[in-house]
Amino acid sequence: MAAVVNAQRDMTVVAEVVNGEEAVAAFDEHLPDITLMDMRMPGMNGFEALGTIRTRHPSARIVALSTFGGDEDIRRALMAGAKAYLTKDVLHDELLLAIRAVHSGESYLPAAVRATLDAEKPHPDLSTRELEVLELIVQGLTNKQIAFRLDIAEDTAKNHVKNILKKLGVDDRTQAATRAIQRGIIHLH
């Protein structure tokens, strides 16, 4: 992407980093007009770095980039202050369109990203505890293991699982795990 940007007469890459901590430091140092921010970085992830930058520099214009196009990831990036959200398989022309749109003060969502948002309701109304249980379901734990890990009764764990399945609109734990990962509700580490 740096090569695509540098090939433009009106654009120059001022810094490249590998993690969120470096992204925040580089932003503070260079104060770029536009930042392309990978959402999945080691250490401080892109969501955290984006939030930190926007807290320190409310007018920062950030384009979120991710391999994943799940609706929850998109919503999370936009809520953190991203002005655009692109998947990394974006065509060069669309990348440049997004950068130019954000630079001129507009937001930018490609048609595919907009369709993803329109296709899914916002985050299912999962409680904090249900999100913890869902994370453990994704890890493959049984109800008994979930109960032990969270120090709750097995029947309570079973009820949480039942509520999660209903809220996600799925029939079983495997479907719940798959849906949670696809939508970006839960991230694999």
For 94-110, how does the pLDDT look when each residue is reduced to its tens digit (9 = 90+)?
999 999 999 999 999 88
Number of residues that this document lists for the chain:
189
pLDDT range class, residue 137, cuts 50, 70, 90: very high
pLDDT at 122: 60
Give the residue among 82, 12, 14, 15 at the shortest CA–CA distance from 48: 82
Backbone phi and psi for residue 114, each to the nearest 5 degrees, phi listed first? -60, -40
**Domains in the chain, start-ordered, CATH in brackets?**
2-119 (3.40.50.2300), 128-183 (1.10.10.10)
pTM surpassing 0.85?
A: no
